[in-house]
Amino acid sequence: MREITFTEAAREGLAEEMRRDPTIIVLGEGIGPRGGNFQTTLGLFALYGEERLRDTPISEAGFTGLCIGAALTGLRPIVDIMFADFGLDALGMLINQAAKLRYLSDGRLKVPLVFRGCMGGGNSSAAHHSGCYYPFFMHIPGFKVVIPATPYDAKGLLKAAIRDDDPVVFLEHRFLLNTKGPVPEEEYLIPFGQAKVAREGKDATVVAISLMVHKTLEAAERLAGEGVSVEVIDPRTLAPLDMGTILKSVQKTGRLLIVDEDYGPCGAGAEIATQVAGRALDYLDAPIRRVNLGFATMPFSPTLEKALLPNVDTIAQAVRDLLAA
């Protein structure tokens, strides 16, 4: 199978959907002729023009709100927010409006909106261009949260997100964008709520999110050399969250680590840990562990940034600690 990058795969998915459905529009800063800061829409402006690929002024809350109104009245808008951090200015519209309108109207309104952005640290992008933020959306009824880790998943999940009738937050890690992987040329969709076992193992279960899947796979390879067999699970969507696959793995291994490049408190890992503790405590041979971003604002200098971010060493050590417990 051909190999293309994560960005190319997602863009191919977007292009297929825009060709199929004339109600799909994309709004964002620089997503028109420029093709997107992260090349999310490269080449599409020439095909679909200004009304469907609308460059916006720097009015994140405004054009997000506008897209919610458009979603209520027959379009399927995609907000391309560039850096996920910029989406925080639009959080009020997302949480108070997008997430709540289906419920408040008792199902008579729908908000088929995709809110996509680039997330993640490691590039000295500092405090306002590095955040992950997915727990904000996991916390609110109404959202779906998608965190693809491979080009294959980026395409299939983005297509599913666009066709979904609920607001979907789609977050792409900066260090995944140029990674390559096999992607079929034919159409496929990946349903939400289906985790993937990225590596099978029997000694410990590691649930890893987005880029952390790859860091954990590296750590698992290293640990294999030490005679340790690690099972790595990529949830692919955090809402809905496929607890079945995670519980099944924990029942097999008896040990759970969650690797998450976001803060620990009230985070994705906290939710997963609570569910496992509540539903599979008897299977656990050791306390659940988490590896998270250090609890400080993302700093600029590489030495400071590195000190906060999970890496292959800290992940591998966390697995060793888990097994020693």
Partner 1 sequence: MKADKELGLALYRKMLEIRRFEEAAADSFQHGLVPGFIHTYIGEEAVATGVCAHLRQDDVVFSSHRGHGHALAKGVSAREAMAELWGRKTGCSHGRGGSMHLFAPEVGLLGSNGIVGAGIPLAAGAGYSFKLLKLDRVSVSFFGDGAVNNWSFHEGINLAAVWGLPVVFVCENNLYATQMSFAKATKEQDVYKRAANYGLPGVGVDGNDVLAIYEAAGEAVRRARAGEGPTLIECKTYRTMGHYVGDPGTGYRPKEEIAKWKARCPIERFKQKLLAEAWASAEELSQAEEQVQALIDDAVEFSRSSPWPDPAEAMTNVYAGTAEGGANA
Residues serving a catalytic function are 60, 129
Are β-strands 204-208 and 230-234 bridged in parallel, bridged antiparallel, or unpaired? parallel
State the Cα–Cα distance between residues 33 and 242, nearest whole angstrom: 39
Contact code string over 30-59 relative to partner 1, x by CB under 8 A: ---------------------xx-x-xx-x
* 213 counts as binding partner 1 under rule CB under 8 A: no
Largest CA distance in the chain: 59
Please state, in angstroms and rounded to a whole number, the distance separating the CA atoms of residues 268 and 170: 15
**43, 96, 300, 325: residue in contact with partner 1 (rule CB under 8 A):** 96
- For residue 168, what are the β-bridge partners? 114, 144
Backbone angles phi, psi at 79, to 5 degrees: -90, 115
Q: Nearest to residue 44, comparing CAs of 87, 2, 8, 6?
A: 8
- Segment near partner 1 (CB under 8 A), from 70-78, 178-186, 198-206, 295-303? 70-78
Tell me, what amino acid is at 309?
Answer: L
Instruction: List the end-to-end C-alpha distance of the chain, in Å, as a whole number.
Output: 43
Chain-centroid distance of CA 137 in Å reads: 11
Q: How many residues bind partner 1 (CB under 8 A)?
A: 44
Is 96 within 8 Å of 140 (Cβ atoms)? no
d(CA 3, CA 134): 28
**In the complex with partner 1, which residue's Cβ is closer, 52 or 159?**
52
> From the list 13, 142, 267, 310, which residue makes contact with partner 1 (rule: CB under 8 A)?
142
Separation CA 93–CA 140 (nearest Å): 13
Supply the minimum distance, in Å, between the C-beta of residue 99 and partner 1.
9
Q: Is 102 in the site for partner 1 (CB under 8 A)?
A: yes
Q: Is 92 among the residues that bind partner 1 (CB under 8 A)?
A: yes
Q: Tokens 């009824």 map to which residue? A: 141
Find the binding residues for partner 1 in span 150-189 (CB under 8 A): 164-166
**Of the candidates 63, 83, 137, 263, which one interacts with partner 1 according to CB under 8 A?**
63
Q: Which of 71, 217, 259, 316 binds partner 1 (CB under 8 A)?
A: 71
The reply on whether position 144 binds partner 1 by CB under 8 A is yes
- The correct pick among 19, 34, 47, 104 for binding partner 1 (CB under 8 A) is 104
Q: How many residues does the chain have?
A: 325
Which residue, 53 or 154, is less far from partner 1 as judged by CB?
53
81 counts as binding partner 1 under rule CB under 8 A:
no
Q: Which residues bind partner 1 (CB under 8 A)?
A: 23, 25, 51-52, 54, 56-57, 59, 61-75, 77, 92-93, 96-97, 101-110, 141-142, 144, 164-166
